[in-house]
A and B are shown apart, each in its own frame.
Chain A
Amino acid sequence: MTEFRPYRKKRSYLLAIIIILAAIFVSYSAFLNIIQLRSIMGTVAYPFEAVTTVVWKSTVGLPAFIVNLKDMLSENAKLRENLEETDTKLIILDQLAEENDRLKEALAFKRSQYRFSLCAAGVLGRVPTAWYSILSINKGSKDGIRLGMPVINQQGLIGKIIETSNFSSKVLLLIDRESAVVAADARSRVEGVVEGSGTEKLFMKYVGAEGEIKEGDLIVSSSLSSAFPAGLPIGTVSRAFKREHDIFYHVEIKPAVEFLSIETLFVIL
């Protein structure tokens, strides 16, 4: 409970009346915007209002921003996961499609090679050495694989088995420096020995200068070879020449097989 003190009432009422009348007068007169006071007041208040507005908006918007940021982060993470999953699925699908094509070709090839008994095998990997061109395959002695067996695919001769274990084997590729196979020109029947170079290139040696060989000729395994059946495609002649006093041709062969992309192959049992 508070007691009010005595006040100078009359003067205050007079002041109030004057102010009210002045306000009404100004409101309905040409002095409505007294000497641009509103404009000045607006200019003075602007920076304070602007700062207050920014602070207010930031304060009010902060929780929503934090919540949104959290949502955005989780959504982003989910989308990334989905994208990765989809990418992985696409890669798997691509691989399956490729494998499907490969297997179809392999099946057709196996059916066409009725003269051989073939054992299909998949490539496990490449033997990690810079010196040899060797593949590791998923068939071994348990599957009837033995040393020296020729390995082919639908493109042609790949190489031969050089090592076996129960469930896997190693294939020395035709392009290895250690490889050699007696071969013949399918057109002219001139014979020679195809050797690997360690690169994606083969050389055919001991082709007599009196023989006939030219670029584009198909080179196949020869019937003289004891290691490989006759008639298996080895490659095509990419370059063949002889100098005046040479007794043999210099023959370069482009392999029939794409050695870098072998996935499925057959071992001739």
Chain B
Amino acid sequence: MRSVKSVVFIGLLLILQSSVFSRLSLFGVGPDLVLVAVVIFAVLNQDEKSTQFAAGTAFLQDLLSYGMYLNLVLKVAYTALINAMKKSFMGSEFFLAAVLLALFTLITFILTGIICPLLGGKPIDYPAWLLTVLIAMLYNLFFLPILFPILSNLSHD
């Protein structure tokens, strides 16, 4: 039952991400619901399970996307990082998820900022890039309190 719920949740998340939240972009930046979900799930669940969740969700996200499996690489790596640090963190899971989400959003943008020029993409306009990082962070943090209780229920089902 929990697996079915998880699959439905992931499917819904991906569909919403690709069809709805892509339309809510501000300055070309929209929320990354998969990142929000992966971070929350990793904070709330066992290491192996969270890695599987991240791998599955990010893989599907990449399949709906184009090119490299970058989401898969980054989100599995973030999950591993969360798994490494969460035991030593003394605080609420929500707060940990918020901090990590902000941090990983920043890292994602930094990596993208580095990888894109390396792969021959457009050179980065840094003031605009900073603005987009800020918007992405706020967007993701906005969805954290919405997704957190849902994933919390899913984790403890």
Query: Do A and B truly interact?
Result: yes
The residues of A with any CB-CB pair to B shorter than 8 Å are: 1-2, 4-9, 11-13, 15-17, 19-20, 23-24, 26-28, 32, 37-38, 41-42, 45, 48-49, 52-53, 56, 60
| B1 CB contacts on chain A under 8 angstroms | none
Given A26-B69, A42-B63, 19 additional A-B pairs, CB 8 A = A1-B92, A6-B87, A7-B46, A7-B47, A9-B84, A12-B47, A13-B80, A19-B51, A23-B59, A23-B72, A23-B76, A24-B73, A27-B73, A41-B63, A42-B64, A45-B14, A48-B19, A53-B19, A53-B20
Let me know if B28 is at the binding interface, CB within 8 A: no
The residues of B with any CB-CB pair to A shorter than 8 Å are 11, 14-16, 18-20, 23, 46-48, 50-52, 55, 59-60, 62-64, 66-70, 72-73, 76-77, 79-80, 83-84, 86-87, 89-93
Residues of B contacting A: mostly:
helix
The 6 tightest CB contacts between A and B, nearest first, are A12-B47, A23-B69, A41-B63, A27-B68, A16-B80, A7-B47
If A15-B52, A27-B69, A45-B14 touch, whether A52 touches B63 (CB-CB below 8 Å) is: no
With A19-B55, A38-B63: A2-B73 Cβ-Cβ less than 8 Å = no
B23 touches A20 (CB 8 A): no
Nearest CB to that of A49 among chain B residues? B19
Contact indicator A56/B23 (Cβ below 8 Å) = yes
A32 to B72, CA, bound (A): 13
- B47 CB contact (under 8 Å) in A2, A9, A48, A53: A9
Closest beta carbon of chain B to A45's beta carbon, Å: 6
In the bound complex, residues from chain B placing their C-beta under 8 Å from that of A2 are: 92-93
